[in-house]
């Protein structure tokens, strides 16, 4: 009888396999050898998805403020920490509503310029998600 463990692999990884963010330049981020030319969210599973900036732009006219709607898209049950790379120059911030949403969910947010946030993400052993803004 075939085992269920023989399913094809996707971008997710097992719990013991560390994901590595190798680096960032203005407009890019490199994760596990793949370079992305857009903002990314790293899910608890390790899946990398494109950030949905429009969830914040519709309220603030910019993606430099994370809205509560975007916070809801980012958060997953079980997430203890969100590491938010605020851009090369640190221009992204949480809206008060997004900040309150993460606090209510018990998810600590570490907001740092993207190069510094990458180092924090790679070192963190928490159940974490990441949002990385790759430009300003």
Residue 121: which CATH number?
Answer: 3.40.1230.10
Number of domains forming the structure of the chain: 1
Residue 51: inside a domain: yes
Per-residue model confidence as pLDDT tens digits over 23-34: 999 999 999 999
pTM score, two decimals?
A: 0.86
Residue 55: inside a domain: yes
Residue 91: inside a domain: yes
Per-residue model confidence as pLDDT tens digits over 81-114: 999 999 999 999 999 999 999 999 999 999 999 9
Residue 2: inside a domain: no
Residue 4: inside a domain: no
Residue 73: inside a domain: yes
The DSSP letter of residue 55 is H
Domain range for 122 = 19-132
Residue 61: inside a domain: yes
Q: For 9, how many CA atoms within 13 A lie in the half-sphere containing its CB?
A: 5
């Amino acid at each position: 009888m075939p085992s269920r463990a023989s399913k094809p692999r996707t971008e997710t990884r097992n719990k013991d396999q560390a994901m590595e963010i190798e680096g960032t330049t203005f407009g890019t981020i490199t994760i596990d050898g793949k370079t992305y030319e857009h903002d990314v969210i790293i899910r608890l599973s390790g899946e990398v998805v494109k950030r949905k900036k429009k969830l914040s732009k519709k309220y603030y006219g910019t993606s430099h403020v994370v809205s509560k709607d975007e916070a809801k898209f980012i958060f997953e049950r079980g997430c203890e920490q969100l590491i938010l790379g605020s851009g090369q120059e640190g221009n992204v911030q949480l809206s008060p509503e997004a900040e309150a949403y993460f606090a209510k969910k018990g998810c600590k947010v570490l907001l740092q310029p993207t190069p510094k946030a990458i180092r924090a993400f790679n070192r963190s052993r928490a159940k974490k998600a990441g949002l990385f803004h790759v430009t300003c």
